[in-house]
Amino acid sequence: MTGDDYILQADRLHKSFGRRAARVHVLRGLDLSVRRGEFLAVMGPSGCGKSTLLHVIGLMTPCDAGRIVMNGSPVAPSENARNAIRRTQIGFIFQRFNLLGVLSAAHNVEVSLKVRGLRADGRARELFEAMGISHVMHRRPGQMSIGEQQRVAVVRALAHRPAIVLADEPTGNLDSDNADALLDLFRKINLRENQTIVMITHSAEAAGRADRVVHMKDGRIID
């Protein structure tokens, strides 16, 4: 398998927080490769560095050392370079949704597109319809169920056609029925659109829906 087969490669990533005696090493020479069109789950105990990994490969946080290659091109460490790639190639789905409460579902998606220099097109409406939530487009988050809010968050993550979607404990705040529905949706998107997904999860059941599962321990991938 060549480098062109991978959407993301992370080589010997290091990340720490704090200073001097209070310094905590979170990522310790971590290596990870994600194939195009793969649905990958990352598991591990609390505190092993899963969320930090997602923030680093999602280019929200710079690594202290190591290299990230996105779509075959090394990512420059500058904030401007990371921001440009993050806005165009990465979609995020957070455990707490992070929807703007004063805006409708449709406007939440439009704002996400606007900060990327894009305008809303038929893609967003198609996603609302495909996910069975076209009826909430003009509702605010407080007028939706938890499951509807999570699906709006998925629409927002996909509307700009990202190369890769990163999901941080996306089922953590959902009951079993909504969690199952979301995982079914992930698999549908992955298969229908060949969408690459990296999902951080504590749930073995959620991880079981993925193509591949890797485990983290003490800031490294151990398998």
Query: SS3 of 153, please?
Result: helix
pLDDT winner (highest mean) among 150-154, 183-187, 213-217: 213-217
pLDDT in tens, 52-107: 999 999 999 999 999 999 999 999 989 999 999 999 999 999 888 889 999 999 99
Residue 211 domain boundaries: 3-221
Binned at pLDDT 50, 70 and 90, residue 121 comes out as: confident
Residue 129 has pLDDT above 70, yes or no: yes
Domain total of the chain = 1
Binned at pLDDT 50, 70 and 90, residue 181 comes out as: confident
Global pTM reads 0.91
CATH of the domain at 141: 3.40.50.300
Cβ-proximal residues to 43 (8 Å cutoff; 6+ apart), any chain: 50, 201, 202, 204, 207, 213, 214, 215, 216
